[in-house]
Amino acid sequence: MKISFSIVVPMYNESSGIEAFFSRTLKVMDELGEPFEIICINDGSRDDTLERLRQIHGRDPRIKVIDLSRNFGKEIALTAGIDFASGEAVIPIDADLQDPPELIPRLVEKWREGYDVVYATRIERDGESFFKRWTARMFYRLIRRLTRIGIPGDTGDFRLMSRPVVEALKSLREQHRFMKGLFSWVGFRQVSVPYRREPRFAGKSNWNYWKLWNFALEGITSFSYVPLQIATYFGLLIAFFSFCYGLYLLVRTLLYGNPVPGYPSLMVVILFLGGVQLFTLGVVGEYIGRIYNESKRRPLYFVRQTMGNFLGHNT
């Protein structure tokens, strides 16, 4: 049977909210009246998420499960779900119900109008602190300035993608995956649907500020070499001022002699230049580390087991 919609749901320790998620999502999808599948990716959960998914799959075979061999991270888990999805349209969504399943019919409506990607844009972010909302807003604005692709602001993974877009994404096998950037990089005809993001239904987020910082670093280095340019320009600027200061010392020595130089100023200059060098090496090292990981050509993930019939996959 041909499947119209594939809902892709990465899960990590989502046990407390699973029943509510499926209750709302199944109601929405049943009302659409077309064949669908819900692909849940267990990303190495430490609670009983997998066991609950096993029970739910037993009740409804349209809910399928991919159990990864360990925790690979959300971006890789999302990639695995997209790889296994067979629907004419694929819809990634989180299980915490911050992205409401009730928005899916609006995404489908825009897709019917001829758009290949319909992404949901947050106009409000309920249940989040002011600092988190502010840092998220600044991140999206920063990455839009640093990259040459139009990554939409205040937009997560929640979207609908047509089959041509999915096939394009499946051909991108880089290790360091910033999915929001990849969604935009493949192009195609895209449109936004605004919505109000709800508070998390149950449990707590697995994202802390350190993980968010690394996520931002991943996004910037995956789609921009501007940090390398900044390091270059910064080094040239320091070299220019150093040259000017050297000329100043030469002229002062010729005119007024050579007094004993001050130890504090000498240490400040040495420490400053050392800091600049370490900063530049750190930026270069980030890119070299990514080149090293890509050169190993390792598989993105390993699947421990699957539950359900995945069309086109030997599982």
So where are the chain's domains? Answer: 5-224+298-307, 226-295
What fold does the segment set 5-224+298-307 form as a domain?
Spore Coat Polysaccharide Biosynthesis Protein SpsA; Chain A (3.90.550)
Comparing 12-21, 24-33, 275-284, 300-309, which segment has the lowest mean pLDDT? 275-284
State the Cα–Cα distance between residues 149 and 146, nearest whole angstrom: 9
pLDDT digits (tens, 9 = 90+) for 11-31: 988 888 888 888 899 999 888
User: Whole-angstrom Cα distance, residue 77 to residue 301?
Assistant: 8
Q: Where are the alpha helices (DSSP H) in 40-73?
A: 49-59
> At which residue do the structure tokens 């988190």 appear?
132
The 3-state DSSP class for residue 45 equals coil
Nearest CA-CA partner of 66 in 253, 260, 236, 308: 308
The single-letter code of the amino acid at 65 is: V
d(CA 99, CA 159): 10
Q: What is the pLDDT of residues 118-157, one digit of tens each?
A: 988 887 765 556 666 666 666 667 666 666 777 777 777 8
46 falls in which pLDDT band (50, 70, 90)?
confident
In the structure, what pLDDT confidence band is assigned to residue 315 with cuts at 50, 70 and 90? very low
